[in-house]
A and B are shown apart, each in its own frame.
Chain A
Amino acid sequence: MKLLIKSGRVIDPSQNLDAILDVLIEDGVIKDIQGNIEAADAQKIDAQGKIVCPGLIDVHVHLREPGFEYKETIETGLRAAVAGGFTAVCCMANTNPVNDNQEVTRYLLKRAEEVGLARLYPIGAVSKGLKGEELAPIGELKEAGVVALSDDGQPIYDSGFLRRALEYAKYFGLPIISHAEDKKMARDGVMNEGRMSTLLGLPGIPAVAEEIMVFRDIKIAALTGGHIHIAHVSTAGSVELIREAKKKGIRITAETCPHYFSLTEEAVRDFNTNAKVSPPLRTDADIQAIKQGLKDGTIDLIATDHAPHHPLEKETTFEDAPSGLIGLETSLPISLKLVEEGVLTWPELIDKMSCKPAQIFGLKGGSLKPGTVADVTIIDPELTYQIDANSFFSKARNCPFNGWKVKGRAVITILGGEIVYQHGEIKPRTI
């Protein structure tokens, strides 16, 4: 089985590539990248005017299976992933049962294999039952296939516990992904503490609730030499702390999400529950700092924190609605605004949405070097359209970008040399 992608603008930051080239895929791996490849027996894809890049990778999604299949399943989540141009996702452990044992990890991998659309990399729990009391069997989880550890959704509150967890995880080469939130500071807050919370009379969460924990995490990373990855950075103060930590050589990496550089607390006006998310949407100053952090490399990558909920769960008061919004099918067009605004170049964006995620978490893909698995995304950079949540492949509709006019979309997604998504159609691989 051969696939030849003709005349696209091939962007692969992993080998400093940005040129009009052909890409030849054979037996599921990248075979060759050249100016003009001839392969009579290959299926050809005309990529003229398109971007050809390593498949996008999202290291922070909630697929809700097992336990919350009414919100999303591995199948619907992976359909949303490939439709958004993602060839791999890392799913968080806060399912029911929690992914704190090999059985759950194996189940996740088996289901993903059956679905046959995108690579699924499970993230294991740090603590049993996400309770922050006893360590999950980290070594066994690694053996079963987890690529990182996280109690995401909840912070690891006990600093002594986090220290031991990080030391223990270091032996197995697994990073701990931190949901940085001081719960005692956040209290009953449901949105950013600021002008909008005062106007709406909603309890607020100040930026320092995140920053206190980011600071603590940095200190524990420095103490242990372990690798902490800060999830969903939302404040200017966090960006500053991470920047300083990196200068000192502390092993810390960080992600932000499209909503933290495109939406502010203003989105909550009219009590829009689809704009309720943890951490909360902040202010313009935070957006500017996050953009700067993306530009200077303080923030390594863009993830979505795709958090599906059933539409009825969001159809209530702001305070009662669950936190979270979905992102797999909007991440690319929303992130492309960074390119349009000149914050990032195309190669820098691809780096943050594909290469860096693969490098930091040791995943397949993230590169088009010959010999690498042929996970490829083809993007039409000029395609303009209106985001319509009702057309999503995800089960959920909790998208604050619904109705936005955007530009740029994944038109073909290739997994291991096979087209799994093409112009609105899902094509599962046969196993």
Chain B
Amino acid sequence: MAEGFNKSHLLGIEELSAAEIKFILKTAEAMKEISFREIKKVPTLRGKTIITFFYEPSTRTRTSFEIAAKRLSADTINISASTSSLVKGESLLDTAKNLQAMQPDVLIIRHPHAGAPHFLAKHIEAAVINAGDGMHEHPTQALLDALSIIEKKGGIEGLEIAIIGDIAHSRVARSDILLFTKLGANVRIAGPLTLIPPYAEVLGSKVCECIEEALEGVDVVIALRVQRERLKQVLFPDLREYAIMFGLNRKRLSLTKKDAILMHPGPVNWGVELDPEIMNMDRTIILDQVTNGVAVRMAVLALVAG
């Protein structure tokens, strides 16, 4: 365990102090350069075993973790729900015990249920990293968002940040709001009222009445993905109406500060939450976020397992 961060797991942003968040981000800044070397590998986690255990489909997060682990010289094993014993009806507790019996050093888990990583952390000795639990948290996404903002804006404190879209079902939104407010930013949220959680103010953000109010004069805009499965839940009429009423386009983005940046956790539904006309706008930093994802995950892995 490194100085400045003395947790054995990364379960959520909620558990972290501002100092711990800053320490992870500082470590990530140092890690970033490794990915741009000709030989993209350091021996930090040589001999360590890291399991990624994804109960939900994922391309970028799982790949990002795997690349991060490999660049630190760890051995990685990937398990997904369809290839695991879960399809044979094995319980999460048994799965955890069996994995633990193989002495992994880190278990990176994504699970459709909130609190699944917290449950595992109670039952196994390996460090547990939450790669997204239900609608609860996605701490490494919030950390990479923060790193991306800091790169462009020099810091987080005092910034006005708008998060637009499906806040209610978004673990990214929860972790983002918690992290940004811990570092002193003001966060506004807006979207169809069916997608704003009850008592949203407990997260520390201001609920705006409309998208325009949320965007007015902000430094950072984060658009959230519209999950198509929500269509079945009577939360909004259809994708066309969503794009028209809540989608971000040039006109709406003109309300922000001139140098505001646009972010998205991906994968983007172009033509729904984001108008394709802004795809190549130079204020859009969606791919920088992906690059920073590797750096942040290298930092987190090094801190919990190094």
Chain A residues packing against B (C-beta within 8 Å): 193-195, 197-204, 206, 270-271, 312, 315-320
Kindly list 19 other residue pairs between chains A and B, CB separation below 8 angstroms, not including A201-B133, A271-B114.
A193-B198, A194-B198, A194-B199, A198-B198, A198-B202, A199-B202, A200-B114, A200-B136, A201-B134, A202-B136, A204-B198, A271-B115, A271-B119, A312-B91, A315-B91, A317-B116, A318-B115, A319-B134, A320-B92
**Interface CB pairs A-B, < 8 A, 14:** A197-B198, A198-B202, A198-B203, A199-B14, A200-B136, A201-B135, A202-B134, A202-B136, A206-B198, A315-B91, A316-B91, A316-B119, A317-B92, A318-B115
- Which residues on B sit within 8 Å (CB–CB) of A320? 92, 113
Give the docked Cα–Cα distance between A198 and B199 (Å).
7
CB neighbours of B133 from chain A (8 A): 201
Instruction: Collect the chain A residues with CB atoms within 8 Å of residue B14's CB.
Output: 199
Known contacts A202-B135, A317-B111: does B118 contact A271 (CB below 8 Å)?
yes
User: Nearest Cβ in chain B — how far from A282, in angstroms?
Assistant: 13
When chains A and B are docked, how far (Å) is the Cα of A270 from the Cα of B171? 16
Known: A194-B199, A201-B133, A271-B119. A317 touches B91 (CB 8 A): no
Q: Which residue from chain B places its CB closest to the CB of A313 in the assembled complex? A: B91
B contacts with A: majority SS: mixed
Does the CB pair A316–B202 fall under 8 Å?
no
Inter-chain contact B115/A200, CB cutoff 8 Å: yes
Complexed CA–CA distance, A204 and B133 (Å): 16
> What's the Cα separation between A320 and B115 when bound, in Å?
11
Q: Kindly state whether residue B93 has any CB partner on chain A within 8 Å.
A: yes
Contact B92 A316 (CB under 8 A): yes
Q: Name the interface size band of chain B.
A: 20 to 34
Contact of B115 with A199 in the complex, beta carbons under 8 Å:
no
- B114 in contact with A202 (CB, 8 Å): yes
Let me know if A195 and B92 touch, CB within 8 A.
no
State A319–B116 Cα separation when bound (angstroms).
9
B197 within 8 A of partner (CB) = yes
B-chain residues with CB within 8 Å of residue A202 when the two chains form the complex: 114-115, 134-136
Of the candidates A202, A204, A206, the one having the most CB atoms from chain B within 10 angstroms of its own CB is: A202
What is the distance, in angstroms, from B210's C-beta to the closest C-beta of chain A? 21
Q: Is B137 positioned at the interface, with any CB of A under 8 Å from its CB? A: yes
SS of A interface (majority): loop
Nearest CB in chain A to that of B174: its residue: A201
- The digit string for B116-143, where 1 denotes a CB below 8 A from any CB of A, is 1011000000000000011111000000
Say whether B198 contacts A270, CB under 8 Å.
no
The proximity string for B residues 99-119 relative to A, scoring 1 for CB distances below 8 Å and 0 otherwise, is 000000000000101111011
Say yes or no: B134 contacts A315, CB within 8 Å: no
Closest Cβ neighbor of B112 among chain A residues: A319
> Closest Cβ of chain A: how far from B199's Cβ, in Å?
4
Determine the chain A residues whose CB is within 8 A of the CB of B91 once the complex forms: 312, 315-316
CB contact list, B194-229 vs A, under 8 A: 197-200, 202-203
CB distance from B194 to the nearest CB of A (A): 13
Closest 7 CB pairs of A and B: A201-B136, A271-B115, A201-B135, A317-B113, A198-B197, A319-B113, A195-B202
How far apart are A318's CB and chain B's nearest CB, in angstroms? Answer: 5
Q: Which of A194, A195, A316, A319 contacts B114 (CB 8 A)?
A: A319
CB-CB under 8 A for A318 and B199, given A201-B136, A312-B91: no
Alpha-carbon separation in the docked complex, A381 to B88 (Å):
52
> Given contacts A271-B118, A312-B91, A312-B93, are A199 and B203 in contact (CB under 8 A)?
yes
The CA-CA distance from A193 to B135 in the complex, in Å, is 14
CA distance A233 to B200 in the complex (A): 27
Q: How far is the CA of A203 from the CA of B200 in the complex (A)?
A: 14
Contacts of B119 in A (CB 8 A): 271, 316-317
When C-beta atoms are compared, the residue in chain A nearest to B123 turns out to be: A315
Contact A201/B171 with A270-B118, A317-B119, A319-B114 known, Cβ cut-off 8 Å = yes
Q: Tell me whether A315 and B93 are in contact (CB under 8 A).
A: yes
Report the minimal beta-carbon distance from A384 to chain B, rounded to whole angstroms: 30
**What are the residues of chain A within 8 A of B137 when measuring CB–CB?**
201
Establish whether residues B114 and A318, one from each chain, have CB atoms under 8 Å apart when the complex forms: yes
Specify the chain B residue showing the minimal Cβ separation from A193.
B198
Q: How far is the CB of B117 from chain A (nearest CB, A)?
A: 10
Inter-chain contacts of B134 with A (CB < 8 A): 201-202, 319
- Nearest CB of chain B from residue A286's CB, rounded to whole Å: 15
User: Which residues of chain A have C-beta atoms less than 8 A from B200's C-beta?
Assistant: 198
Kindly report which residue of chain B lies nearest to residue A268, judged by CB atoms: B115
B116 / chain A contacts, CB cutoff of 8 Å: 317
Q: Which residues of B contact A194 (CB under 8 A)?
A: 198-199
Give bound CA distance, A11 to B14, whole Å.
50
Indicate which residue in B113, B197, B202, B203 contacts A318 across the interface (CB closer than 8 Å): B113
Closest Cβ–Cβ distance, residue A329 to chain B (whole Å): 25
Compute how far the CA of A312 lies from the CA of B113 in the bound complex, rounded to whole angstroms.
Answer: 17
- The complex places the Cα of A213 from the Cα of B174 at a distance, in Å, of 33
Using CB atoms, name the residue of chain B closest to A270: B118
Chain A residue at smallest Cβ distance from B200: A198
CB of A201 within 8 A of CB of B114, answer yes
Taking CB atoms, residues of chain A closer than 8 Å to B203 are 198-199
- Give the interface centre of A198, A200, A201, A206 by most chain B CB atoms within 10 Å: A201
For A197, give the chain B residue with the smallest CB separation: B198
Please, how many angstroms separate the alpha-carbon atoms of A193 and B174 in the complex? Answer: 16
| Docked CA distance A315–B115 (Å) | 12
Taking CB atoms, residues of chain B closer than 8 Å to A193 are 198
Q: Inside 8 A of A206's CB, which chain B residues have their CB?
A: 198
CB distance from B142 to the nearest CB of A (A): 13
- Could you say which residues of chain B place their CB within 8 Å of the CB of A197? 197-198
B115 contacts A317, C-beta separation under 8 Å? yes
User: Chain A contacts of B197 at CB under 8 A?
Assistant: 197-198
Chain A residues whose CB sits within 8 angstroms of the CB of B115 once the complex forms: 200, 202, 271, 317-318
Interface of chain B residues 134 through 154 with chain A (CB within 8 A): 134-137
In the bound assembly, the distance between CA atoms of A317 and B113 in angstroms comes to: 7
- Which among B93, B171, B174, B199 has the greatest number of chain A C-beta atoms within 10 A? B199
Bitwise interface map of B from 1 to 39 toward A, beta carbon under 8 Å scored 1, else 0: 000000000000010000000000000000000000000
Q: Is the CB of B111 within 8 A of A195?
A: no
